[in-house]
Amino acid sequence: SRRFVCVHSRIMKDAENTRSICGKDSVLRCKENSLPGAKYRSVRWYKLVEEPSNKESGLLMKRLSPNSTTQWYAGLERKVELLADHSFDIFLLNVTAVDSGRYKCLLAAPVGEQNQEGQVAFTISPQTNQKAAESSPSSFHCGACGSIAKLCYF
């Protein structure tokens, strides 16, 4: 006899907005609608590459069982860590402009429950050194964070 398993996935339509400053450490939170007491089987994180194909670039996967270790996807350009052993959130050390973008977390639910998906829109701002007093002359320096540079005009 054959058995069919129907897997439901609940998708969060709106991405959680998270901001950070270039050079700082940051946490991206997996904002899912988890059911209280549900024992999820695994967590996966992806960075969404928007142009031109909307493809997913895998970051990490961890089974949420005792003695499980985090696994990173092959060809990973940016290593990330889970915030803690039983956390769904990821930690990024020393963020740069390249880290800006959309991220997706997936939680694999136990049989009979819905898988969960959450998205984070991550924005990196350049560092600002100091505020200028209104009465004193000021000069502005334009610098780039990471490997993406934009032209600045004043």
Instruction: Indicate whether 68 belongs to any domain.
Output: yes
pLDDT, tens digit, 9 for 90 and up, residues 107-131: 999 888 889 999 999 999 998 765 5
- Matching residue, tokens 């429950």: 113
Q: What integer pLDDT is reported at residue 92 of this predicted model?
A: 96
Q: What integer pLDDT is reported at residue 140 of this predicted model?
A: 42
The model's pTM is 0.72
pLDDT, tens digit, 9 for 90 and up, residues 3-38: 433 333 344 456 789 999 999 999 999 976 667 778
Domain encompassing residue 109 = 11-116
List alpha helices for the chain, DSSP H. Answer: none
Confidence of residue 144 (pLDDT cuts 50, 70, 90): low
Instruction: Indicate whether 52 belongs to any domain.
Output: yes
Instruction: Indicate whether 123 belongs to any domain.
Output: no
At a CB cut-off of 8 Å and minimum separation 6, what does 146 contact?
22, 96, 97, 98, 99, 124
Instruction: Indicate whether 77 belongs to any domain.
Output: yes
Q: Considering its fold, how many domains does the chain have in total?
A: 1
Query: CB-based burial of residue 93 (10 Å sphere; 0-12 exposed, 13-18 middle, 19+ buried)?
Result: exposed
Q: How many CA atoms lie within 13 A of 116 on its CB side?
A: 19
Instruction: Indicate whether 147 belongs to any domain.
Output: no
Question: Which of 139, 104, 135, 101 lies closest to 121, judged by CA?
Answer: 101
Percent of the residues in the chain that have a pLDDT greater than 90, as a whole number: 45
Report d(CA 72, CA 82) in Å as an integer: 11
Question: Which of 63, 50, 64, 97 lies closest to 78, judged by CA?
Answer: 97
Residue 85 predicted with pLDDT over 50: yes
Q: Is 99 helix (H, G, I), strand (E, B) or coil?
A: helix
Q: CATH number, domain at 33?
A: 2.60.40.10
